[in-house]
Amino acid sequence: MKLKVLGCSGGIGGARRRTTAYLVDHDILLDGGSGVGDLDYEDLLRIDHVFVTHAHLDHVAFIPFLVDTVGEERGRPITVYGNAETLRILRSHLFNWLIWPDFSTIPDRRAPFLRYQEVRVGEAVQLGDRTIRPMSALHTVPALGYCLDSGEGKLVYTGDTTYSDELLVEINALSDLRYLIVESAFPDAQQGLALASRHMCPNLLTRLLERVEGNPEVLVTHLKPGKGERIMSELVSYHGRLVPRRLEAGMELTF
């Protein structure tokens, strides 16, 4: 499997600051932030599946544009996966005929442009030879992470989360974990804000990484604009066994 970073910023401001979206192979999106908008039309047509971590706008804002752009040209609906609360929020507050049309009923309910599929922690979705397994996350709204398994290696994307023992247990249960994409939205000086908003800061992320038993490459996402260099320097200063590096738009990871 191949993951391409379309957007991984915790905010906007400049050509490389796109909010969270990852293209997996040619047909899967992990989250649907503003990074989706940089894909060519032909690439958008190939997307069949969108796995959503949670319903916050920086992770879902471009899903409506995606469906609106290509829905009529496709022979089957785009499937959006998420936990029950995330799908409820999308139906009630986004695809609700007020903010955006309800594409799960267009052109009709029997052959819509968009369909929803609920997923639960630990219950894998099989797409050919690829397995995508929802994982625990701890955020201000019900949230998930995802483990992507190609059959030859695994990648974990935590989505937005603060420190979580449940997530740690699930990470340590994985064999052949190649990559761990994990957030750190704030520097340590804002640990109180990180805890209140259920994000990571270097102190919390290091606490997690110290207990990770495998040897994945750790890539840090969702850094707030203007704070990235400080966050990364604080992470490196902890001198842990796992040395995180910054995730950047345009990176491609093969596993």
**What is d(CA 44, CA 71) in angstroms, rounded to the nearest whole number?**
10
**What is d(CA 82, CA 80) in angstroms, rounded to the nearest whole number?**
7
Copy the structure tokens of residue 109: 């309910």
Helix (H, G, I), strand (E, B) or coil at 217: strand
Q: Which residues contact 30 (CB under 8 A, 6 or more apart)?
A: 3, 21, 22, 24, 51, 53, 146, 148, 157
Copy the structure tokens of residue 194: 């990180």
DSSP 89: H
pTM: 0.97
Pairing verdict, β 125-127 and 114-118: unpaired
**Which secondary-structure segment (H or E) carries 32?**
strand 28-32
pLDDT tens, residue order, the chain (255 aa): 999 999 999 999 988 899 999 999 999 999 999 999 999 999 999 999 999 999 999 999 999 999 999 999 999 999 999 999 999 999 999 999 999 999 999 999 999 999 999 999 999 999 999 999 999 999 999 999 999 999 999 999 999 999 999 999 999 999 999 999 999 999 999 999 999 999 999 999 999 999 999 999 999 999 999 999 999 999 999 999 999 999 999 999 999
Domain annotation for the chain: domains and CATH numbers: 2-254 (3.60.15.10)
